[in-house]
Chains A and B, each alone.
Chain A
């Protein structure tokens, strides 16, 4: 049996670790609440925008002369990966790595990353990394402008022929899923719209579409010019917000597990400590008794 003093030292160490992880859990949970509120409240906005873009593309798809709406042959896929800045968030980043290995292994992908962890694993996988960016926890749209400009220019110059955003979002507080949102070109948004509606619990046939032809004022081109950049940046912004909410909830649960583990460990150690102390006392009594008898 281990020495009493050694057990005591381990107990102290475990208690300290539990204190740290508990604090991290509390911080993550307050950040999560905020991030989730922002992510959830923004969904209506992006849904309404997507519906307009979808309406535009399906009614006038062929006549729109904007590169964002043009389908081209895909030579290089542009992939934006939204990872986390720090670790200690459970299996969130591993999930992204798995997604990349399964879905993005054709060799024609070019990656752009947000978050240090994402750029680390993309370079470890030896993939083509174009650029890496980082954002703070309380992300604002203006903070993402360099990312958005970079992606837009890469797309317009023809370096990449599509832009897809890969990130993890929370299904419920315990589980996360890795999703891929095809942002450019802005065609076939109906899948994205129905998945958004499902997440927001809106029924598909809620408000039946008007079958009459839609008027675009002042004209299609003016709306496209105004909408395309705005929708592009809002899509990426929303994905980052969802990813942030997922990150904080994953971190909160990882830290909760760590705290629970530390608690059970310290309970076991306390038991071991008591046993060791009792054994020591018994030993001493035996020794005294033996000396008295002798």
Chain B
């Protein structure tokens, strides 16, 4: 039996396919979902989404969001998805630097920035760091 995995971002369905199992980075640690898992709703944190099939294994980077297992359908609801097989390490490092610098600037003049914006930038940095970590592995 296979699992149907759907990754939904604000731009639509970014990934839809069948997998044997999937590892999801969540708030309370990584969980591995196999067919016939109990229904679960959980908080997704930035990290690596590992899709395993009999013959191959792919790693995707996901941003924060939610994950839901319902029957054999897994929905990952996140802000962004990146296929790490095609990722460019240098580009990620540059993006991380940019995100960190933006956050630094925002923190330095906290009065001018609204806290939501700082929070958004922090989330961005966390996502970039997660991508970098996946790359190093």
- A142 vs B114: C-alpha distance when bound (angstroms): 11
Using a CB-CB cutoff of 8 Å, which residues 171-218 of chain A contact chain B? 207-210, 212-218
Which residue of the partner chain, among A215, A218, A227, contacts B38 with CB atoms under 8 Å?
A: A215
Does A137 belong to the interface (CB within 8 Å)? no
> Given A52-B41, A52-B66, A217-B26, are A44 and B71 also a contact pair (CB < 8 Å)?
no
| Chain B contact patch, size range | 20 to 34
Binds A, one of B8-16, B47-55, B101-109: B8-16
Contact, CB under 8 Å: B41 / A49? no
Does B118 belong to the interface (CB within 8 Å)? no
Contact, CB under 8 Å: B39 / A215? yes
In the complex, which residues of chain A have a beta carbon less than 8 angstroms from the beta carbon of B26? 217
User: What is the minimal beta-carbon distance from A260 to any residue of chain B, in angstroms?
Assistant: 35
Q: How many residues in A have their beta carbons less than 8 Å from beta carbons of B?
A: 28
- A55 vs B69: C-alpha distance when bound (angstroms): 12
Does A51 belong to the interface (CB within 8 Å)? yes
Which residue of the partner chain, among B11, B43, B73, contacts A217 with CB atoms under 8 Å?
A: B43
Does A56 belong to the interface (CB within 8 Å)? yes
Does A41 belong to the interface (CB within 8 Å)? yes
Does A48 belong to the interface (CB within 8 Å)? yes
- A99 vs B100: C-alpha distance when bound (angstroms): 48
- A223 vs B64: C-alpha distance when bound (angstroms): 13
Which residue of the partner chain, among B13, B71, B117, contacts A208 with CB atoms under 8 Å?
A: B71
- A55 vs B26: C-alpha distance when bound (angstroms): 19
> Given A44-B13, A207-B71, are A213 and B39 also a contact pair (CB < 8 Å)?
yes
In the complex, which residues of chain B have a beta carbon less than 8 angstroms from the beta carbon of A207? 70-71, 73
**Chain A residue at smallest Cβ distance from B11:** A41
In the complex, which residues of chain B have a beta carbon less than 8 angstroms from the beta carbon of A48? 8, 68, 75, 77
In the complex, which residues of chain B have a beta carbon less than 8 angstroms from the beta carbon of A41? 10-12
Contact, CB under 8 Å: A210 / B71? yes
Does B93 belong to the interface (CB within 8 Å)? no
- A42 vs B11: C-alpha distance when bound (angstroms): 6
Does B28 belong to the interface (CB within 8 Å)? yes
User: What is the minimal beta-carbon distance from B18 to any residue of chain A, in angstroms?
Assistant: 14
Which residue of the partner chain, among A44, A145, A214, contacts B41 with CB atoms under 8 Å?
A: A214
Contact, CB under 8 Å: A218 / B27? yes
User: What is the minimal beta-carbon distance from A190 to any residue of chain B, in angstroms?
Assistant: 15
Binding site for A on B (CB under 8 A): 8-13, 26-28, 31, 38-43, 66, 68, 70-71, 73, 75, 77, 114, 116-117, 120
**Shortest 4 CB-CB distances between A and B: which pairs?**
A41-B12, A217-B42, A214-B39, A210-B71
Binding site for B on A (CB under 8 A): 40-42, 44-45, 48-49, 51-52, 55-56, 142, 145, 207-210, 212-218, 222-223, 226-227
Other than the known A48-B75, A210-B71, A214-B40, what 18 A-B pairs have Cβ atoms closer than 8 Å?
Answer: A42-B12, A48-B8, A48-B68, A48-B77, A49-B77, A51-B68, A52-B41, A52-B66, A208-B71, A209-B71, A216-B41, A216-B42, A217-B26, A217-B43, A218-B28, A222-B27, A222-B43, A223-B42
